[in-house]
Amino acid sequence: MPSERRTLRTPNALFFAPVLAHIEAGGCATFLLTGRSMRPFLEHERDHVVVITARGREIRRGDVVLARLSSDVFVMHRVWRIDGDSIVLRGDGNPYTTERCRRDDIVAVAVGFLRGKRRRPCALTSRAWRLHSALWPASPLCRRILLRLHRMLVLPWLPIVSHGRVEGV
């Protein structure tokens, strides 16, 4: 009987504790993204993110950051607006929803992504990522239209990645 792979779901607070300890010690961490708020460019359980500590780094509009919204809630979103010590975050796939946190709540900054089965990171300093960041619309209506087109035209063609195996190919 073949062995069956299972996925262990860990609460955010338990998962991120060792990740944060590692990056605070000067390391970087790579982990699988879950959630659909950074669509269409980052996909749920397909793409990985590479993060480093936010301590001592300047946070700018457009950065993709890992923020602690409460003791057990973390989000990875783009910095939408900076109002002094208050930071407004918004996922690329969120037409309307934003989150607000303090500058001290940003615990990590993304420096790259591993998309799908690629093992070479896509750097956030790359021309393609900077172009995406500049062109992705600010208008909620434009976002809704583009996200709807993405769901209708692109998602049906994406292979489903499950437990490290590609299905539907």
The full 3-state SS of the chain, as one line of letters, equals CCCCCCCCCCCHHHHHHHHHHHHHCCCCEEEECCCCCCCCCCCCCCCEEEEEECCCCCCCCCCEEEEEEECCEEEEEEEEEEECCEEEEECCCCCCCCEEEEHHHEEEEEEEEECCCCCCCEECCCHHHHHHHHHCCCCHHHHHHHHHHHHHHHHHHCCEEECCEEECC
Domain coordinates in residue numbering, the chain: 12-167
Predicted local confidence at residue 22, as pLDDT: 86
Predicted local confidence at residue 87, as pLDDT: 95
**How large is the average pLDDT for residues 82-103?**
88
Question: Which one is predicted more confidently, 133 or 165?
Answer: 133
Residue 167 pLDDT > 60: no
Predicted local confidence at residue 3, as pLDDT: 56
pTM above 0.85, yes or no: no
Residue 89 pLDDT > 60: yes
Residue 165 pLDDT > 50: no
CATH architecture of the domain with residue range 12-167: Ribbon (2.10)
Predicted local confidence at residue 66, as pLDDT: 93
pLDDT digits (tens, 9 = 90+) for 15-66: 888 888 888 888 888 888 888 777 777 778 888 889 999 988 899 888 899 9
Quick one: pLDDT band at residue 86, thresholds 50, 70, 90?
very high
Residue 75 pLDDT > 70: yes
